[in-house]
A and B are shown apart, each in its own frame.
Chain A
Amino acid sequence: MNQATDEPVVRLEGVSKSFGDRTVVCGVDLVVPRGCCFGLLGPNGAGKTTTLRMIYGATAPSRGRVEVFGHDVTREPRAVRARLGMTLQEDALLEEVSPRANLRIFGRHHLLRDPELSKRVEELLDRLELRSHADLPVRALSGGFKRRLAIARSLMNRPELLVLDEPTTGLDPAVRQALWSSIRALRRSGTTILLTTHYMEEAERLCDRVAIFAEGRIVAEGSPAELIRCHLAAEALELEHDEDGGSKIPAALAMLASDPACVHALTIGSRTILYAADVAPLLARLHQSQNPDGHRAIARPANLEDVFLRLTGSSIAEQAA
C-alpha cells in the first residue's frame, strides 16, 4: 500500500447530484476511515444508492468531489474499481448458469485468467459457503444463496473497500444473521466496508460509524452509541393510545412529558415515545396516576430508529411512503 494508513478510503466533499431539476443528493461531506464498517442509513429515496453510485464512479457528481483511495473517481474510475467491490441492490446474476460459471465470467471482467481465475473462484465458493450449490443453475437458488453469490462476486478482486447496497433487504432473519457474520468476518480481515440499510438494527449491530440520510442530506453522523447519547437518552418508554395523538395528547402523557427526567418526547400517530436516562421513575409515575387512559407501556433501550425519528420527525416507513 503506498497510501498512509490514516488516509481515508472514501472522501466526499460538498457532493450534490441532480437529475434535471430534482436534487437527490445535496451537499454531502463524508469520510470513511480505513478498516471501518460505515453505514449509510435512511429510507428509500433518501439518496443512499445515488451516493454509492458516485463512490464507485457509475455516475458523476453534479457538484463537489468524490475521492476513493486518494483518486478522483470521476477521472480515474478504472483505478478505483480495480480495488473496490460493489454488491448491487439487485443481484444482477446470470440466472441460467451456475454460481461457478457466474464467478468465472465475472473474474474475466477483472482480467483474471486461469489458473489464477479457477483458484480464486474455488476460494470464493468456500468462503461464502456456496460449494454445495456450485453447479446448480442460479435461478434454482434461494434469495440468501443468491445474495451470498453476489457478495462472492464482488470479492473477486480482493477489494480493499467493499460496498454493499442494502445487503439484507428481503431476506429472512436467519439468512440475515448469517450474512451479518460474513460481513463481520470480512471486516476483521481488514476490508473497509460501506453499506446502506434502512434497518436501524442492522446498522447498530454491524457499523462502527453511521451517517443518517434524509432527503438527500446527512442529518447526523457518528457511532450508533454516540448518536443515541447526543440526540436522545439511553432508554425509551413507548406508550400507545387509541386515537391519533395530534393536538389532543392525553393528560397522563402531558404530565410524563413535562417530567424533568424526560429528555425528549415524540408523538407519531397513536404512539408517544418518552426518552430518559432511566425510564423507571416515569413508568412508576404512570402507574401512580392509575394510568387513566389505559396506555400500554413498553420500556426499552433507545435505538437508532429513535434517533432517526427525532431528527427527521417521521419514521423510516413514513418517509419511504
Chain B
Amino acid sequence: MRLSPRHAFSVWQRNATMYGRTWKFTLLPNFFEPVFYLTSIGIGVGSYLQTMGGVPYAEFLAPGLICVAAMNGVSYEVTYNVFVRMNFEKAYDAMLTTPILPDDILAGELLWALTRSTLYGSVFFLAVLLFGLTPGPFAAGALLVVPLCGLLFGAIGLTYTMLIPGIEMFSFYFTLFLTPLFLFSDVFFPIDERLSGGWLLVAEMLPLLHPVRLTRAFFRGDMGWLMLWDVVYILGVSALLLAQARRAIRKRLTT
C-alpha cells in the first residue's frame, strides 16, 4: 500500500487545527526561554570568560541553543502528544475508519513535527538576531538546519513512542537521553577541545551534535566537508529509525 500524501496532510491539518487554538500560549513562552538562556548563561556566565571557540561566549552559545529549541519543540510533540493521541484519545483508531492507513498517520505526524520544530527553531533564531548574535548573512543557513534537526528528533521520538509500553517511559527519554544530549553536544563548550580521539568518535554518535555543528558552521561562515557528513548522519539515522517506526505503528494499530 502506497503512502497517500493527501491523507497524510489531513493528519497534519488535524494537528495544525488543534495547535492553532493554543499557539499563543505555547509559542510565546518559547520565545522567552531563549532570551533567558542567552541572558543568564550567554551574557551572565559569558562575562567571566574571554572567548570560547574563538568567539564571545554568547555568540558561541547561540547556534547550539537554536538546535536545542528545535529539538525540544519536536520532542514533546512526538512523545507525550503522540502517545496521548494514540492511546488515550484513540485518534488513530478513528482515523483508521477512514481511508487513512498507518503509514499516512506516521507521515502526517512527522510532517507536523517538522512544522513545529521549524516554528520553534525559527522563533529562537529571531531572538538571537534581536540580540545581535548573528555575525553575518550566512547565519540564515541555520533556518535550513532547523527542519533537519526536527526530522532527526521527530524520527527518534516517534520510534521511541511506538515501541514503549507505557507513558511513564518518557521520563527516561527526557532525563537520560535529551538532557545529556543538551549538555554534551557542543552546545555549551567545544567538545573537540575537551575530548581525546577515542571519545570524539563516541561523541560523533550523539544526534544533537550534528545539527549543532551545522548551525555553528553557518554562523561562522566556515563551510567544509564535515557538513556533508553531518547531513548524511541526520538523513541516514532518520531513515533507519522511520523504517522501524513504520513497522511499529502498523503493529500497534492493526493487531
What chain A residues lie within 8 Å of B254 (beta carbons)?
58-60
Given contacts A59-B255, A108-B13, A108-B14, whether A94 and B98 have CB atoms under 8 Å apart is no
| Chain B residue nearest to A80 in the complex (CB) | B99
* Distance of A257 from chain B, by nearest CB (Å): 47
Interface residues on B, range: 20 to 34
CA A57 to CA B40, docked complex, whole Å:
55
| Chain B residue nearest to A56 in the complex (CB) | B97
Contact B1 A77 (CB under 8 A): yes
Residue from the list B4, B7, B14, B253 in contact with A105, Cβ < 8 A? B14
Q: Which of A31-39, A83-91, A188-196, A260-268 contacts B (4 or more CB under 8 A)?
A: A83-91
Contact A88 B18 (CB under 8 A): no
* Distance of B107 from chain A, by nearest CB (Å): 14
**A96 in the interface, Cβ–Cβ < 8 Å?**
yes
Contact A108 B21 (CB under 8 A): no
CA A79 to CA B98, docked complex, whole Å:
10
| Chain B residue nearest to A102 in the complex (CB) | B94
| Chain B residue nearest to A19 in the complex (CB) | B255
Contact B10 A109 (CB under 8 A): yes
Contact B1 A94 (CB under 8 A): no
CA A95 to CA B11, docked complex, whole Å:
17
**A65 in the interface, Cβ–Cβ < 8 Å?**
no
Q: Which of A142-158 contact B (CB under 8 A)?
A: 153-154, 156-157
Contact B99 A86 (CB under 8 A): no
| Chain A residue nearest to B95 in the complex (CB) | A109
CA A93 to CA B89, docked complex, whole Å:
7
CA A154 to CA B96, docked complex, whole Å:
11
**B50 in the interface, Cβ–Cβ < 8 Å?**
no
Given contacts A77-B1, A92-B91, A92-B93, whether A109 and B100 have CB atoms under 8 Å apart is yes
**A284 in the interface, Cβ–Cβ < 8 Å?**
no
What chain B residues lie within 8 Å of A92 (beta carbons)?
89-91, 93-94
Contact B99 A110 (CB under 8 A): yes
**A254 in the interface, Cβ–Cβ < 8 Å?**
no
Contact B21 A82 (CB under 8 A): no
**B175 in the interface, Cβ–Cβ < 8 Å?**
no
Residue from the list A78, A90, A105, A156 in contact with B17, Cβ < 8 A? A105
What chain A residues lie within 8 Å of B253 (beta carbons)?
58
Contact A108 B10 (CB under 8 A): yes
**A48 in the interface, Cβ–Cβ < 8 Å?**
no
**B247 in the interface, Cβ–Cβ < 8 Å?**
no
Residue from the list A56, A78, A93, A97 in contact with B18, Cβ < 8 A? A97
With contacts A19-B255, A92-B94 known, what are 19 further pairs, Cβ within 8 A? A58-B93, A58-B96, A77-B1, A77-B101, A88-B94, A92-B89, A93-B94, A94-B18, A97-B17, A97-B18, A109-B10, A109-B11, A109-B95, A109-B99, A110-B98, A110-B99, A111-B7, A111-B10, A157-B98
Q: List 19 A-B contacts (CB under 8 A).
A: A58-B93, A58-B96, A58-B253, A58-B254, A59-B254, A77-B1, A77-B101, A81-B97, A88-B97, A92-B91, A94-B91, A105-B17, A106-B98, A108-B14, A109-B7, A111-B10, A111-B99, A156-B98, A157-B98
Please list the 7 inter-chain residue pairs (A to B) with the smallest Cβ-Cβ separation, ordered nearest first.
A86-B97, A92-B90, A92-B94, A78-B99, A109-B98, A108-B10, A81-B99
